Structure 1
Amino acid sequence: MGKNNVLTIIKKYRLLIIFSLLFLTGCGTEITPIDGSSTGIFDHYFIYPFSLLIKTLANILGSYGLSIIIITLAIRLVLLPFMMKQMKASQIGQEKMKIMKPEMEQIQEKYRSKKGTDHQLDMQKELTALYKKHQYNPFQMAAGCLPMLIQLPFLFAFYYAIRRTPEISAQSFLWFDLGQTDIILVLIAVAIYFLQAKVSLIGLPETQKKQMAILGYFSPVMIGVISLNSPAVLPLYWAVGGLFVLLQTLYMKKFLTNGVTKDPKKALQE
């Protein structure tokens, strides 16, 4: 049963997992220097503008490290309202499901021993009526993942802009060279993503914690492995973005999620 639950979670988040792997490993995209003559829609209209922004801001600030930090935080701030909306929609959906669960189990038990297409259709009709009664739309809840999918092209573009802007490698920031691997920075990035995974499990039921922990701890392991073979600019980017998401998750868990849980009726009416 536990294995089936894990497989269900992996299947549910398969697109996110695939995108995350592509994002972390850089598969499917060349790592040649980017410039104004680069062809391709994604290269010319997404990656190159970010590369130009990195260099322009670095010239103003006198630091490529600061440029990457500021752009990373700016992107996360722009995406913050969408992520908060997504998390709230997800929490409301969970609260509705808790309310409906006893009635759903009664309906499922009613048809458990009944075979045949007609009985299955009758069960689906009763479940649909139950969803309508509680104003629960499973398709609308699934659409709550759209903000996560919308942000991916921009995160991809910035990530590849960092990798394909050769000027960055010749610069230093704080105690490390941006173009060389730095063990201390790698450990910082891994620790931040490990804490982020721990924080994301706060408030979840024990069974769900065990299931989600498998996916949650996958990111710090991958980031650690890749960062050990990458220039320090990448773990710098991951550390800054991961720290922002860590604080964002703490805030939403404390204020947003708790608000929905403590007064679900009010939240469900919003």
Structure 2
Amino acid sequence: MKNLKKKLSLLGVASTGLLLLSGCVQTHIVDGVRVPTEAATQGLTYQILVKPMSSFVDLFANNMNLGYGWGIVLVTLIIRFLILPLGLNQAYKSTYMQEKTAYLAPVFEPLNARLKAATTPEERMAAQQALMKAQKDNGINMLSSLGCLPLLIQWPFFIALYNAAAYTPGISTATFFGINLGSSSIVITLIAGVFYFLQTWISTKSMTPEQKKTGLTMLIMSPVMIIIFSFMSPAGVALYWAVGGIVMVIQQIIITYIMKPRMRQKIEEEFKHNPPKMADLPKDVTPKSATQQGLKNLDAPYKKNNKGRNSGKQKRK
């Protein structure tokens, strides 16, 4: 059930992203070609984001006589590499906390087990408080890796690139290695899928078995959605995603084979000089039932009298 919820959540996020991208510029069909409406070309999104990016594509396509296919490729690479440091910075923060949490698994496992085994709200609250205290004592703060600034900075570029690839005049009638950029292309779709699956596969190489178990489904869903959306879009848009996939693979190689090994070494050194703080398991704070409390109260006089009788017998002896 949890896995199904994860899949549906990711599908919803991906679908929302596609709708936002495709819905930024209103379009209509003219002579069998989808183009922006007159009102859309006067809109703020088109004027600020799409038009400058279209001009950037035109610079390579017409001014340098490279064609629209290479124009999309070069513009996508330039933008992607410009914002690559932001992506790596965000990846570093999130990966650092993940690796640190994995290193401290022996500290957190008993607390997580107690949390799963909790049968009452009181037990669950005590286990959660103990887990949060252990995380705080050992410097774990997952919220610190969820900064929105890198995403907010990247998002306008993605919107502009997507719409420029879809609606720049001339792209719909251009070809790239014999592929019509105005129609869907299974070839470019498969290329995009291969790069995103490769990025996913590389990301699993440095994962622990537990991380693979919990995160593999989410990782696989991303390239699957890229394939679906690429096939539903013109080849010009699919080409943008395919080239973006190349940069994603490069980014993942840096994270997996350069960033993570150094990060693990840093974490080991950190805890070598400052050993992990072990957490105490939460006490059983489950309140006794009214019946148990009542029986205890009923037994009190009997125990008191019984104690008095025994003491009298001991004195007589």
TM bin (shorter chain): 0.7 to 0.9
The residue type equivalent to 1:264 in the other structure is I
Amino acid at match of 1:135: G
The 1-side partners of 2:64 and 2:270 are apart by 44
Match of 2:207, SS?
Answer: coil
**2:84 partner letter:** L
Secondary structure, counterpart of 2:41 in structure 1 = coil
Q: Determine the C-alpha separation between the residues in 1 that align with 2:9 and 2:267.
A: 25
1:130-155 Cα shifts (integer Å, max 9, x gaps): 33322222321232x54235312321
Q: Distance in 1 between matches of 2:194 and 2:85?
A: 26
Q: 2:245 aligns with which of 233, 236, 242?
A: 242
The DSSP-based 3-state class of the residue aligned with 2:146 is helix
Q: What is the CA-CA distance between 1:82 and the residue it aligns to?
A: 1.2
In the alignment, which residue of structure 2 is the partner of 1:64? Answer: 68
Match of 2:158 among 152, 155, 158: 155
RMSD across aligned positions (CA) = 3.4
Aligned to 1:44: 47
Q: Answer with 128-137 or 36-45: which moved more.
A: 36-45
Amino acid at match of 1:193: Y
Structure 2 letter corresponding to 1:195? L
- Using structure 1 for the length normalisation, give the TM-score: 0.78
Shift of 1:41: 2.8
Q: Which residue of 1 aligns with 2:297?
A: none
5+ long unaligned stretches in structure 1: none
* Greater radius of gyration (CA): 2
- What is the CA–CA distance in structure 2 between the aligned matches of 1:184 and 1:8, rounded to whole Å? 32
Alignment partners' CA distance in 2, 1:139 and 1:265: 22
Is 89-98 or 73-82 further displaced after alignment? 89-98
User: CA separation of 1:121/1:243 partners in 2, compared to 1, >3 Å: closer, same or farther?
Assistant: same
Shift of 1:120: 5.9
1:191 and 2:194 aligned? yes
**One-letter amino acid of the counterpart of residue 168, structure 2:** T
Q: 1:222 to 1:74 in 2, by over 3 A?
A: same
**Is residue 91 of structure 2 the alignment partner of residue 87 of structure 1?**
yes
Alpha carbons of 1:13 and 1:88: their partners in 2 closer, same or farther (altered >3 Å)? farther
Q: 2:19 aligns with which of 22, 37, 44?
A: 22
* Residue from 49, 52, 57 that aligns with 1:54: 57
Report the counterpart of residue 146 of structure 2 in structure 1. 142
Secondary structure in structure 2 of the residue aligned to 1:263: helix
Indicate which of 95, 98, 107 corresponds to 1:103: 107
Deviations 1:15-71 (A, max 9, x none): 7534444368x3575235358972333222112221222223322221222221111
- CA separation of 1:240/1:133 partners in 2, compared to 1, >3 Å: closer, same or farther? same
**1:96/1:134 contact within 8 Å kept:** no
Unmatched tracts of structure 2, length 5 or more: 29-34, 274-317
Alignment length (residue pairs)? 263
Amino acid at match of 2:262: G
Distance 2:119 2:226 in 1: 50
- Structure-to-structure mapping, 1:128-139, within 5 angstroms: 128-139=132-143
